[in-house]
Amino acid sequence: MRADNAAFNSVNQSLTKKPRYVVEIAFDAGATPTDFIYLTSHNDAETPGGANTMYNVVKKISGTSQKLDVLNARATIGSISFRVQDFNRLLTDLMRVKLDAGFGLRQKRVRFYIGDSVLAWSEYQLITTQLIQSVTVDDKAEYTFRCSDLQRITRKNIFNLQTVNLNATLSAPKNTALTANVNATDTTFNVMDTTGFNTSGKFIINNEICAYTGLTVTSFTGLTRGVNSTVAVSHLGTSGGDAVITEVMNIVIPASQSNASFELLEHGTSYGDAQNQTVGYFKIEDEIIRYYSKSNLTTFTDCVRGALQTRAVEHEVDLGLTENDRKPKIQEYVYLEMPILKLALAILTGDLYNQPGRTLPTGWNLGIDPGFVATSKFIIH
């Protein structure tokens, strides 16, 4: 909801108000332009000091109202058009100079301000920000600018999740358990049984992933602790401790398919799963699987089974069917966990607040230039 400044609010409630309108047009691109022309409705309308201004040229401002599409969960702010009288071809000449320099007006930012004859420019109220869609002129040298709200140029569809096939039946991961306590630096884990584990590989215990280079019947040896940005910690091998060890595996899809479009995301501190790690997720039937990288376009590497409190089970594939008919499918899965305002900003722009240089994947956000969003109006904890 718009919050009017006190001076404007006072005048706006007066019975003798004399509204003044100012249209700010940007010739340079982006959400933070610097090259403006100000068009006013009256000779005594205020504009920023030193601004390039054409007074008493705005003849009419009209617009369509906000629309709410309940079925498709979509709202539009509405569209605005305005007419400008071009006295002595001043506007025509200016636009031609800018166009020759490569600064046409289509999709450029336009802002609408309202004030009053008794208000200073600092007390004018910004009403809306839109983008110019078209400019036409009639035989009376009157220009019509048609604008639209930002939502009309955002991506229409996001979260178009990818689907691929399993290359073969996926067995449930192997499990074992510690038989003795370990500290954060131990490089050998004594366990109940290593049957079924590869002779080298990775496993997860609690939230720590360990790489190992060898094994015996009852131990993993040559451990590298806390790999994949996890944290090496102590683990209890006594009854009631967090002693379960689970195989971390690679999952392969058919050579004719590709996992290139599956996205990984760097998690911040707000995530309950894989905090401060860069991971992706996919779903097979009811099981969610977390992975840490991809290779050769056909392999999800370092997969942790049964993520997000799901259960790791076998997924059987009928190899007698054609590749596209095989089930179950691997379906990309989106997991986002952050404060609601940070999430809203991320979906609007892709920017991850307080994670410099980090963004949501392109297909997960609406693509609005961050400069169009006033983060000062957000309160994010």
pLDDT at 74 exceeding the cut of 70: no
Q: Are residues 242 and 176 in the same domain?
A: yes
Residue 268 inside a domain? The answer is: yes
The Cα–Cα gap between 172 and 311 comes to 10
Tell me which of 129, 153, 177 is where a domain ends.
153
Q: Are residues 287 and 344 in the same domain?
A: no
Quick one: pLDDT band at residue 69, thresholds 50, 70, 90?
A: low
Residue 131 inside a domain? The answer is: yes
Instruction: Find the mean pLDDT for residues 32-60.
Output: 95
Residue 273 inside a domain? The answer is: yes
Q: Which of 20-24, 64-68, 281-285, 331-335 has the lowest mean pLDDT?
A: 64-68
Q: Are residues 294 and 226 in the same domain?
A: yes
Residue 293 inside a domain? The answer is: yes
Q: Are residues 303 and 224 in the same domain?
A: yes
Q: Are residues 27 and 66 in the same domain?
A: yes
Tell me which of 103, 129, 153 is where a domain ends.
153
Q: Are residues 243 and 191 in the same domain?
A: yes
Q: Yes or no: say if 106 and 162 are a contact pair by the CB < 8 Å rule.
A: no
Quick one: pLDDT band at residue 149, thresholds 50, 70, 90?
A: confident
Q: Yes or no: say if 303 and 310 are a contact pair by the CB < 8 Å rule.
A: no
Query: Cα 194–200–201 angle (5° rounding)?
Result: 95
Q: Are residues 103 and 205 in the same domain?
A: no
Query: Cα 223–224–226 angle (5° rounding)?
Result: 125
Residue 1 inside a domain? The answer is: no
Largest CA distance in the chain: 93
Residue 62 inside a domain? The answer is: yes
Instruction: Find the mean pLDDT for residues 43-72.
Output: 83
Instruction: Find the mean pLDDT for residues 196-220.
Output: 97
pLDDT at 305 exceeding the cut of 60: yes
Cα distances from 299 to residues 167, 203, 319, in angstroms, run 10, 18, 18
Tell me which of 101, 124, 153 is where a domain ends.
153
Would you list the DSSP string of 210-257? Answer: EEESEEETTEEES-B-S-TT-----B--STTSS-EEEEEEEEE--TTS
Q: Given the structure tokens 């166009």, which residue do they identify?
A: 99
Quick one: pLDDT band at residue 65, thresholds 50, 70, 90?
A: low
The Cα–Cα gap between 30 and 163 comes to 35
- Phi and psi (nearest 5°) for 178? -65, 145
Instruction: Find the mean pLDDT for residues 159-167.
Output: 94
Which tops the pLDDT comparison, 202 or 79? 202
Domain total of the chain: 3
Instruction: Find the mean pLDDT for residues 256-275.
Output: 95
Q: Which of 220-234, 305-319, 359-373 has the lowest mean pLDDT?
A: 359-373
Q: Are residues 344 and 325 in the same domain?
A: no
Q: Are residues 130 and 247 in the same domain?
A: no
Q: Yes or no: say if 48 and 40 are a contact pair by the CB < 8 Å rule.
A: no
Q: Are residues 327 and 346 in the same domain?
A: no
Residue 197 inside a domain? The answer is: yes
What percent of the chain is modeled with pLDDT above 90?
Answer: 75
Residue 158 inside a domain? The answer is: no
The range of the structural domain enclosing residue 244 comes to: 163-333
Q: Are residues 169 and 316 in the same domain?
A: yes
pLDDT at 66 exceeding the cut of 70: no
User: In this predicted structure, what is the pLDDT of residue 372?
Assistant: 74
Q: Are residues 120 and 188 in the same domain?
A: no
User: In this predicted structure, what is the pLDDT of residue 336?
Assistant: 97
Q: Which of 13-17, 58-62, 75-79 has the lowest mean pLDDT?
A: 75-79
Which tops the pLDDT comparison, 67 or 23? 23
- Phi and psi (nearest 5°) for 10? -65, -45
